[in-house]
Amino acid sequence: METIRLATFNLWWRLGDADRRQPAITSVLRRAQPDIVGLQEVWCRDGLHLAGQLAAELGFHTAWATADDPSHWHGRGHDDYGIGNAILSRWPIDSVDTIPLPPGNEPNESRFAISAVVETPFGRQRVTNVHLNAGWWQNELRRAQLRHLITWLADTEGEDLPMALVGDFNAGPDFDEMRPLTNRAAPYDPRLALVDSWECINPQDPGYTWDRSNPNRPSGEASYRIDYVFVGQDRADDVGRVRSSERLGTHPVEGVVASDHLGVVTEIQARPTLAPPR
């Protein structure tokens, strides 16, 4: 059976020991062997960005977009750096869109999604990577951002393979803003239904990606699963069906955990199970 490996990983910008973490990030991605990965909190400076460096090391194509105003991230010792989101792909990228998301009351915290059409060996697939606002009080803002994004995606549906939506949603699966994504509440747009790949394979495992056991993150906060790989509903011939889903970045590399988040890597079926009708 031929599959596509989709992943998401938040890289924690320039925080922590970024210079020691960078080779750990490379090692985690090389070991996970994703075909397509969405990266959030990617640093950039002077025309260079970490996504480009990772792509060069791993032999990937790159789609990149930077935040218009990175000042929300400044004041922590790295004010000369910007921040952005990226999609890395083993296969060529045909087109890229940047979708600005509704802002909250902090105008210097610009959030957006990046969406790319990837020319896989099995057909064209739209992959969208998003990083939503993080405040625990910003449920309604995340709801507005998701409604805007899902409507945009429903308007652009129509590639060969079921689409993928990956990223750091900064909300647990039971949060009100997340429930419409998988039709547990009235959907944001009835034209588009998604499958939570982790829950599909690991229904009894909380799969924390914001995990108190990670030495890079605050110990006083609860653990949540906030990083996701969603896929469009699989077709009648099983193309798009989720075959596996696991976390990545769980173990130290040379004594360093790569990020304050754990990532997710999901495998979906790419070839039909059923023989075509005669």
The vertex-155 CA angle with 153 and 161, nearest 5°, equals 60
Q: Are 213 and 206 in contact (CB under 8 A)?
A: no
- Would you give the distance in Å from CA 277 to the centre of its chain? 36
Q: Please name the fold of domain 3-269.
A: Deoxyribonuclease I; Chain A (3.60.10)
Residues 86-94 have a mean pLDDT of 98
Q: Which residue has the higher pLDDT, 142 or 193?
A: 142
Residues paired with 88 in a beta bridge: 37, 62
Nearest alpha-carbon partner for 261 in 25, 23, 86: 25
List the one residue out of 138, 204, 206 whose CA is nearest residue 171. 138
- Residue 31 scores a pLDDT above 60: yes
Give the pLDDT of residue 132: 97
C-beta of residue 122 within 8 angstroms of C-beta of residue 2: yes
Q: 248-260: per-residue pLDDT in tens?
A: 999 999 999 999 9
pLDDT at 179: 97
pLDDT at residue 278 tops 50: no
Long-range contacts at 142-146 (CB < 8 A, ≥ 24 apart): 142/169, 142/170, 142/171, 142/175, 142/177, 143/176, 143/177, 144/102, 145/101, 145/102, 145/111, 146/177, 146/178, 146/180, 146/181, 146/188
Rounded CA-CA distance 49/15 in Å is 15
Strands 3-10 and 263-269: antiparallel
Average pLDDT of the segment spanning 60-88: 90
Instruction: Identify which of 48, 32, 119 has the alpha carbon closest to the alpha carbon of residue 86.
Output: 48
Tens digits of residue pLDDT in 93-114: 999 999 999 987 766 678 999 9
Residue 275: pLDDT above 60?
A: no
Does the pLDDT value for residue 147 go beyond 50? Answer: yes
Torsion of CA 89, 260, 73, 111, to 10 degrees: 50
Describe the crossing of helices 50-58 and 18-32 by its angle, rounded to 10 degrees: 40
Q: What is the mean pLDDT of residues 115-144?
A: 96
- What is the pLDDT averaged over residues 244-272? 97
Look over the chain and give the mean of its residue pLDDT values, rounded to a whole number. Answer: 94
